[in-house]
Chains A and B, each alone.
Chain A
Amino acid sequence: MSESQTINEATTNIQTGQPDAKTRRYDRQLRLWAATGQNALESSRILVLSASATSTSILKNLVLPGIGHFTILDASNVTPQDAGNNFFLDGPDSIGKNRAEEAVRLLGELNDGVGGTAVKESVGEVLAKQPDWVKRFTLVIAHNLENNLLEKLSTLLWEDEAGPPLVVVKSAGFLAEFFIQFRDHSVIESHSDSAPSLRITNPFPSLLSLATSLDFSKMDPTDHSHVPYVLILVHALENWKKIHGGSPPKTYAEKQEFKKTILAMKVKQDEENFDEAEAQAYRCWSETKIPSDISSLFSLPAPSPSSNPNTFQFYTLLSALKTFTSIQPPYALPLSATLPDMHTSTDTYVHLQKLYKARAEEEKAVFKELLKKEGGGENVDEEAVDNFLKNCHALKVLKGKKWGAFDTDREALATALQTYPKEASTHLALSALSALPTDVSPAEESLRATAQNIVGQDVELPDEFDNAVGEIARSPSADLPTTSAFLGGLVAQEAIKMITKQYVPVNGYCVVDLVETWTGVIA
């Protein structure tokens, strides 16, 4: 490119690299969940029961990032009270109109790419007349739904193994909680901070021969300061093992000594590659073949054939992974093709990257052969295999529970009240509130008596319960703008994690106290 060109001339032919309008709109979120996450969002259909302030706050945070479609089920008309606390109603102009229709109209303005439907029916009617309709959605969210309907709905969705997860959201004044009901949630892209093994303790042949062939004494100073830490560590560890009966450094003293031998390899004080090697030396004793979080997944029971295809595919891949680690030396997870940055020259880095890639390809071929032998394994596409292998060091599997199961397990409740008194008290107070009739404001005494019934008469409620129950009695039917906005963010964030199957959603009751501003998770 000649320097006399103007920017215009120099760039006219490369404008094709510029992203389209949709990518630009979603740029800040694509950096978190990429096109795969975005596609999952765009194929999702969300059902929200009621158009309360909390419900529309949740939906706002799902419509903005671009879910495919949302449905609000609400038979009621907008009251003056609704018009005062819901940003997705048009103030007094909405009073008297159907709440779902008004909310769908105003939420729809947030994103042209998202479809919205208002269904002017009550949850009770729908569950009585056409219960299977609710199973057509990707995710169902219910805010402050009456207990008997919630029980019906959660049982309906729980009993269908391929049915959608249900998010149960409750709030009163400054207090709130939500719970995601799902059977099994597997995450390949957990975006964990843990890094894959570099096989320093079990080097593959080409890595081992490169590292052991190095003659540090014959290198010129530049080359010496450019040996990447991976090679330094493999080299030093092999030497160490030779004089220690084949064992790596084990005791604290040995580890310190090993680090010293690395620093002693320096020919100049400022050789950063050796500093890096010392800092990464822990890999020589902590790099396990299979992280315990992953090997523990190998003993999970296979899912039933009626679970959804996504779950089924995950377990097929997991089963092949288990076989791989038991037959393929060095009996470790398949090698990752990605190499972290390290102090070295471009050529050495690119060469090392090639070695890792080549080996990773070989192991992938072995893995794919094993996958073919699994039932359904031949249907897994190349992209899914790559994604699985790239992330197999940080897989996550969550086993969920049915909503409400916790409240019937008195032992678990009693333990939680002792171990997490604030969280458990708040949860219990909210459970008591929804067990009482909704048409009158409950007195503190009846809330307390109801809670005592749930947990059992023999259990003493902690002091923290006074705070929770008093706060609920103060504002039992308040859907505060800030509580609803806070929940709107939290629930939408978890919904996004469930839908994209990226990051790790919360498992249990997530309890919120906005008096003291804390969140906690129990059960």
Chain B
Amino acid sequence: MAAAAAQTNGSAIYGDWPGRYFHVDQVLDRPGPRTDPSFLAGDGVKKFLREECKILVIGAGGLGCEILSNLALLGFKDIHVIDMDTIDISNLNRQFLFRPKDVGQPKATVAAEFVMKRVPGVKVTPYFGKIQDKDDDYYMQFNLVICGLDSVEARRWMNATLVNLVDPENPESLKPLIDGGTEGFKGQARVILPTVSSCYECSLDMLNKPTAFPICTIANTPRLPEHCIEWASVLEWPRVWKDKKMDTDDPEHIGWLYNVAAARAKEFKIEGVTWSLTQGVVKNIIPAIASTNAIIAASCCNEAFKIATSSAAYLNNYFMLIGTDGVYSYTFEHERRPECPVCGGESVELSISRDWTVDRLIEMLVEKQDIQIKKPSLSTPTKQIYFQAPPQLEEATRPNLEKRVSELVPNGGEVTVTASSLPFSLSLRITFI
């Protein structure tokens, strides 16, 4: 088909051939019974999709590979992708744009090249780096953003950035965010219209609590192989290697941890320490398979397609899938949280004991399901309570950690919480009981 191949850069719309969009055009040429009357079937919507719409994909991993190939086949032509990772052998069971020869290469670049080679006329622009490297102007250029991430922190950052981007005077500033996530046979996809519908931060309390083992169990009464592994990584590593940073991707480091954990398990007659378990515990590995990623990525891209074309209503606003026992899914509207620190505006009401120290309050902010702020800095409208950085300020405010909150904040007073990893601040109204 030399003729068709030669068209790649020369035809009317980036190398399209007659019949190419036979399938997609069926839903773009006419409305369905549930299609909104504002849908303009035909050439206009196709032109927007194929020539004008600019879409950003965050993550080129398990979900990202699927998202990129789906978007390309749907007819999106200007796709950008950001990923800071390189390809590892354990990605190959699902990240299907990568081959063994690609191990060590940047995911964003390899994925972009593969999709452009396979689907002619699609432009995929990769960025090998962090989402935090980019500024508001960069994010402003897109019509839609899809997140296929495995990190809660990155999602929170992206969500808050897009909420902050909204300017009520400028409708273009509202960028729909479609977020997908998977874990084993389970996953979810959701549509977030920043400032309009429930945002990622609104649903923070839906996250599973990570398994945490109490230090006293690890140190004194280990019972499970996991306790021995935690002992090796949390207590023994810093004791033996001092400031040397543990690299959980380095097989030598995992090997050392495995050996130390196995020796401790033997001493305490505990069975079950293996290399695989050691790696799983220290890297907090989440099982991941191609099929679940395919379902969730398809759902995300389907929503992106519906939003971009209005060919059908988009998801309002949360789709949850559990595939362990049959196929169970639940589609529902997640409600906004008025006290959401990102999109809510109202302060979080917090009742604490008069005896609580600042340190105790910080501990609570780290752990509380709907807050989860690592390394928070605290201040009142008039004074600094505790700051994690810079070092001089940390040192100057450190004595406050031991003080009672009630000495520093009046009853009903406001405390602002910030963290360097999150582009927003949380407002607390504190009452004492």
Complex A-B, nearest 5 residue pairs according to Cβ-Cβ distance, in ascending order: A92-B4, A489-B294, A489-B295, A470-B33, A80-B19
A346 to B297 alpha-carbon distance, docked (Å): 45
Given A84-B20, A173-B26, A471-B34; A496-B270 close (CB under 8 Å): no
A39-73 contacts to B, CB under 8 A, are 53, 57, 60-61, 64-66
Q: Tell me the total A-B contact number using a CB cutoff of 8 A.
A: 298
Is the beta-carbon distance between B326 and A504 smaller than 8 angstroms?
yes
Is the beta-carbon distance between A84 and B22 smaller than 8 angstroms?
yes
- Among the interface residues B30, B223, B331, which one has the most CB atoms of the partner chain A within 10 A? B223
Instruction: Show 21 A/B contacts (Cβ-Cβ < 8 Å), sorted by A.
Output: A3-B240, A18-B275, A25-B89, A27-B285, A28-B289, A31-B287, A80-B19, A81-B20, A84-B19, A109-B99, A346-B221, A475-B26, A481-B74, A486-B295, A503-B324, A510-B327, A516-B34, A517-B299, A517-B302, A517-B303, A517-B331
Is the beta-carbon distance between B32 and A515 smaller than 8 angstroms?
yes
Is the beta-carbon distance between B17 and A92 smaller than 8 angstroms?
yes
A178 to B44 alpha-carbon distance, docked (Å): 34
A91 to B19 alpha-carbon distance, docked (Å): 12
Interface residues of B, Cβ cutoff 8 Å to A: 1, 4-5, 7, 17-24, 26-27, 30-34, 66, 69-70, 73-74, 89-90, 92-94, 96, 99-100, 118-120, 184-185, 189, 221-224, 240-241, 251-256, 258-260, 268-270, 274-276, 279-280, 285-299, 301-303, 305, 312-313, 315, 319, 321, 323-327, 329, 331
Given A87-B73, A346-B221, A485-B66; A80-B20 close (CB under 8 Å): yes
Chain B residues with CB under 8 A of A57: 294
> When each residue 497-523 of chain A gets 1 if its CB lies under 8 Å from chain B and 0 otherwise, what string results?
000000111110010001111111100
A504 to B328 alpha-carbon distance, docked (Å): 11
A408 is an interface residue with CB less than 8 A from chain B: no
Chain A residues with CB under 8 A of B69: 87, 485
Is the beta-carbon distance between A504 and B4 smaller than 8 angstroms?
no
Chain A residues with CB under 8 A of B7: 92
Chain A residues with CB under 8 A of B274: 17
Is the beta-carbon distance between A521 and B288 smaller than 8 angstroms?
no
Chain B residues with CB under 8 A of A341: 223-224
Is the beta-carbon distance between B32 and A490 smaller than 8 angstroms?
no
Is the beta-carbon distance between A174 and B89 smaller than 8 angstroms?
no
Contact of B23 among A24, A112, A345, A480 (CB under 8 A): A480
A110 to B92 alpha-carbon distance, docked (Å): 8
A165 to B89 alpha-carbon distance, docked (Å): 33
Is the beta-carbon distance between B287 and A32 smaller than 8 angstroms?
yes
Given A190-B325, A485-B66, A492-B290; A110-B96 close (CB under 8 Å): yes
A479 is an interface residue with CB less than 8 A from chain B: yes
Is the beta-carbon distance between A61 and B251 smaller than 8 angstroms?
no
Is the beta-carbon distance between A28 and B321 smaller than 8 angstroms?
no
A261 to chain B, nearest CB (A): 26
Is the beta-carbon distance between A60 and B327 smaller than 8 angstroms?
no
Is the beta-carbon distance between A64 and B298 smaller than 8 angstroms?
no
Is the beta-carbon distance between B294 and A482 smaller than 8 angstroms?
no
B126 to chain A, nearest CB (A): 18
Contact of A515 among B19, B286, B312 (CB under 8 A): B312
Contact of B120 among A61, A92, A109, A112 (CB under 8 A): A92
Given A84-B23, A478-B22; 17 other pairs, CB 8 A cutoff: A15-B251, A25-B90, A83-B17, A83-B20, A91-B118, A173-B27, A344-B221, A349-B223, A467-B33, A474-B30, A480-B27, A481-B74, A488-B291, A493-B289, A503-B323, A506-B326, A521-B326
B48 to chain A, nearest CB (A): 18
A94 to B1 alpha-carbon distance, docked (Å): 8
B334 to chain A, nearest CB (A): 13
A170-213 contacts to B, CB under 8 A, are 173-174, 190-192
Is the beta-carbon distance between B275 and A61 smaller than 8 angstroms?
no
A329 is an interface residue with CB less than 8 A from chain B: no
A196 to B303 alpha-carbon distance, docked (Å): 42
A60 to B295 alpha-carbon distance, docked (Å): 13
Chain A residues with CB under 8 A of B254: 18
